[in-house]
């Protein structure tokens, strides 16, 4: 698996250090407020599990499946959200994402959840590719800005592979071209 990775972009240690900081920042921002953290599956599962462990107060957790349909490594713009069973009314929702690329997935999620009357909505993403943005998004917490490369690992896949790598790496182009 590792020989299909061009280079390591963010090491395990860098991830851990940054996620500790993000957890502290969220703790400070919600000092007197309950938190409802929503994990967007599947890509965010590893980040989510590490992040909530670094928020030093009770956090309600929920999970939701969202898929942006891909042609190879390009998002088609079609976003499907599995909307059942997440009751956010009156909650301080923090949407936890793996990566923001065009912004279409998050725009669809935010539009959906706004209608369900949460007390507040914030967005936390591990990775952000600002150069690729098509839909503007207000992002409250960003782990790392990354260049316009297709990245895998630490939850992120290509064709359902590489999610269990402990680091973020750039996939060799020959794998997907």
Which residues in this chain contact ligand 5GP in the complex, by CB under 6 A? 43, 68, 75, 97-105, 150-152, 156-158
CB 28 to Mg ion: min, Å: 26
> Considering CB distances under 5 to 8 angstroms, the limit depending on partner class, which of Mg ion, ligand 5GP, none binds residue 122?
none
First to last CA, the chain: 17
Contact positions with Mg ion (CB under 5 A) in 67-126:
98
d(CA 38, CA 97): 9
Residue 47's closest CA among 121, 103, 125?
Answer: 125
Contact 9, 165 (CB under 8 A): no
Max Cα-Cα span within the chain: 50
Specify the residue, 50 or 98, whose C-beta has the smaller distance to Mg ion.
98
CB 162 to ligand 5GP: min, Å: 8
CB 49 to Mg ion: min, Å: 15
> Considering CB distances under 5 to 8 angstroms, the limit depending on partner class, which of ligand 5GP, Mg ion, none binds residue 92?
none
Question: Which residue has the CB atom at the shortest distance from Mg ion?
Answer: 43
Q: Read off the tokens for 11.
A: 């090491």
CB 82 to Mg ion: min, Å: 12
Contact 68, 145 (CB under 8 A): no
User: Chain-centre distance of CA 47, in angstroms?
Assistant: 7
> Considering CB distances under 5 to 8 angstroms, the limit depending on partner class, which of ligand 5GP, Mg ion, none binds residue 150?
ligand 5GP
Options 23, 43, 118, 143; binder of Mg ion; rule CB under 5 A: 43
Place of tokens 């290509």: 158
Contact 62, 47 (CB under 8 A): no
Contact 124, 94 (CB under 8 A): yes
Q: Is 101 a catalytic residue?
A: yes
Catalytic residue, chosen from 101, 128, 138, 159, is 101
Binding site for Mg ion (CB under 5 A): 43, 98
Q: Catalytic residue positions?
A: 101
């Amino acid at each position: 698996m590792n020989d299909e990775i061009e280079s390591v972009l963010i090491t395990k240690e860098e991830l851990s250090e940054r996620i500790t900081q993000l957890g502290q920042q969220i703790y400070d921002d919600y000092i007197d407020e309950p938190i409802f953290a929503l994990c967007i599956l599947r890509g965010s599962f590893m980040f989510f599990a590490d992040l909530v462990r670094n928020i030093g107060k009770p956090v309600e957790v929920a999970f939701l499946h969202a898929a942006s349909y891909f042609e190879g490594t390009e998002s088609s713009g079609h976003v499907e959200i599995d909307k059942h069973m997440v009751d956010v009314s009156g909650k301080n929702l923090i949407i936890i994402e793996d990566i923001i690329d065009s912004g279409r997935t998050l725009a669809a999620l935010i539009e959906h959840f706004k209608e369900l009357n949460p007390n507040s909505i914030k967005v936390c993403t591990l990775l952000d590719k600002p150069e690729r943005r098509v839909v503007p998004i207000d992002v409250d917490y960003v782990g790392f800005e990354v260049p316009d490369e297709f990245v895998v690992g630490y939850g992120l896949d290509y064709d359902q592979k590489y999610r269990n790598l402990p680091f973020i790496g750039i996939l060799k182009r020959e794998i997907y071209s």
